[in-house]
Amino acid sequence: MSDAPLVVNWGGGVNSTAMLIGMRDRGISPDLVIFADTGGEKPHTIEYARHFSRWLDKNGMPRLVTVQNDGIYKTLENNCLQKKMLPSLVYGFKSCSDKYKRRPVEKYEKAWQPAIDCWSAGGKVVKAIGYDAGEERRAHIPEDARYRYWYPLLDWNWGREECLGAIEKEGLPNPGKSACFFCPASKKWEILSLSRAYPDLFDRAVAMEQNASENLDTVKGLGRAWSWKSLVEADRAQLRLFPDPVDIPCMCFDGDDE
100 neighbors 69 (Cβ within 8 angstroms): yes
Give the dihedral of Cα atoms 127, 128, 132, 137; nearest 10 deg. Answer: 20
> What residues contact residue 8 under an 8 Å CB cut-off, 6+ apart?
16, 19, 20, 23, 30, 32, 33, 34, 127, 128
The widest CA-to-CA distance across the chain, in whole angstroms, is 77
pLDDT at 217: 86
Q: Is residue 222 part of a domain?
A: yes
Kindly list the strands in the beta sheet with 65-67, ordered across the sheet, starting from the edge strand earlier in the chain. 65-67, 32-36, 6-9, 125-128, 147-150
Terminal Cα-to-Cα distance of the chain (whole angstroms): 64
Sign of CA dihedral 44, 67, 76, 78: positive
Distance CA 115, CA 240 (A): 59
- Measured distance CA(178)–CA(97) in Å, rounded: 13
My answer on whether 38 and 98 are in the same domain is yes
pTM of the entire predicted model:
0.85
Instruction: Tell me if 175 is assigned to some domain.
Output: no
Rounded distance between C-alpha atoms, residue 128 and residue 26, angstroms:
14
Mean pLDDT by 10 residues, the chain (258 residues): 86 96 97 95 94 96 94 87 93 85 94 97 96 91 94 97 97 92 94 95 97 91 94 85 48 39
- CATH number, domain of 65, equals 3.40.50.620
Q: How far is 163 from 52, CA to CA, in rounded Å?
A: 15
Residues 6+ positions from 61 with CB-CB distance below 8 Å? 20, 24, 29, 30, 33
In a domain, residue 255? The reply is no
CA dihedral 186, 180, 176, 202 (to 10 degrees): -70
132 and 100, same domain (yes or no): yes
Do 143 and 18 sit in the same domain of this protein? yes
217 and 148, same domain (yes or no): no
Number of domains making up the chain: 2
pLDDT at 242: 52
16 with 129, same domain: the answer is yes
Asked whether the beta carbons of 125 and 7 are under 8 A apart, the reply is yes
The domain containing residue 193 runs over which residues? Answer: 188-239
